[in-house]
């Protein structure tokens, strides 16, 4: 993937080191000023991924993106989280707080690569698992699983019409479910991102048939949720 970096020099140097560690990424150009960044965006159809700073002087990044005749894949950089919701509206791939750690960079790039090949993510939703119900095994499609709820040493798998209680830990089921589709929002809840209708201050509303189910969002999970939903898999 050809990448363009547009941010301050310190952040550029750091991102160049991170990108150099990946065989999948290639630095097409590094820029520090608004004029150069605008120019790259205008002729950037051959660029696979932009790392762009929302705080570059003399550049209203969101308005400029809105004026383009194509949708660039952008990972937003910022010194704070004030514009995270706005980035979501503009379909940014991710939103990184400076100074960017390698682990957050890696997660953002992994997300960008998955969106670069969306068919793989769509196929995951068609996968099936078997759940024990009484003495039988019942087939459950992942796309039908709306949320998972913890109940002491058990978990409850909720679909639109049924729920299944099994002896399993939240950590174990979290490791089993694909992160492209599911995200943990609370120590007691994992939700299907495709079923999220509304993100509130401390909760999310999930589509549950012809009604909504309100699920709490823990404080330690909120930032990850917002970053993840910036480019939700559809």
Indicate if the pLDDT at residue 98 is higher than 70.
yes
Q: Pick the residue with more confidence: 75 or 112?
A: 75
Asked whether 219 and 179 are in contact (CB, 8 A), the reply is no
Q: Which residues contact 59 (CB under 8 A, 6 or more apart)?
A: 34, 37, 38
- Pick the more confident residue, 46 or 3: 3
What CATH fold (topology level) applies to the domain 123-229? OB fold (Dihydrolipoamide Acetyltransferase, E2P) (2.40.50)
The CA distances from residue 129 to 114, 119, 160, 162, 214, in Å, are: 22, 20, 16, 15, 25
120 has a pLDDT exceeding 50:
no
Mean per-residue pLDDT of the chain: 86
User: Please, are residues 219 and 87 in contact by the beta-carbon 8 Å criterion?
Assistant: no
All CATH 2.40.50.1020 domain ranges of the chain, comma separated, are 123-229
Contact 213, 202 (CB under 8 A): no
Q: How close are the terminal C-alpha atoms of the chain, in Å?
A: 22
Question: What would the pLDDT profile of 123-177 be if each residue is shown by its tens digit?
Answer: 555 677 777 777 677 888 888 999 999 998 899 999 998 999 988 888 878 877 8
The hierarchical CATH code for the domain 2-116 is 3.40.50.2300
- Ranges for all domains in the chain classified under CATH 3.40.50.2300: 2-116
Q: What is the pLDDT of residue 115?
A: 64
pLDDT at residue 122, rounded to an integer? 52
Per-residue pLDDT reduced to its tens digit, 46-86 = 788 999 999 999 999 999 988 888 878 899 999 998 888 88
Q: What is the pTM of this model?
A: 0.54
């Amino acid at each position: 993937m050809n990448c363009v970096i547009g941010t301050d020099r310190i952040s550029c140097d750091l991102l160049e080191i991170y990108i150099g560690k990946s065989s999948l990424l290639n630095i097409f150009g590094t820029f520090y000023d608004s004029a150069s960044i605008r120019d790259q965006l205008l002729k950037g159809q051959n660029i696979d991924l932009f790392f762009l700073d929302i705080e570059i002087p003399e550049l209203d990044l969101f308005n400029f993106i809105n004026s383009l005749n194509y949708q660039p894949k952008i990972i937003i950089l910022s010194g704070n989280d004030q514009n995270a919701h706005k980035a979501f509206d503009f379909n940014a791939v991710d939103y990184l707080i400076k100074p960017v750690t390698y682990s957050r960079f890696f997660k953002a790039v992994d997300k960008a690569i998955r969106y670069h090949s969306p068919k793989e993510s769509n196929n995951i939703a068609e996968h099936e698992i078997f759940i024990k119900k009484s003495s039988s095994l019942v087939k459950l499609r992942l796309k039908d699983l709306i949320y998972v709820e913890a109940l002491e040493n058990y978990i409850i798998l909720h679909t639109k019409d049924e729920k299944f209680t099994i002896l399993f830990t939240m950590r174990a089921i979290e490791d089993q479910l694909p992160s492209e589709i599911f995200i943990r929002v609370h120590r007691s809840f994992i939700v299907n991102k495709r079923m999220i209708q509304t993100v509130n201050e401390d909760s999310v509303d999930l589509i549950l048939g012809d009604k909504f189910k309100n699920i709490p969002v823990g404080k330690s999970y909120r930032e990850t949720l917002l970053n993840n939903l910036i480019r939700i898999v559809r």
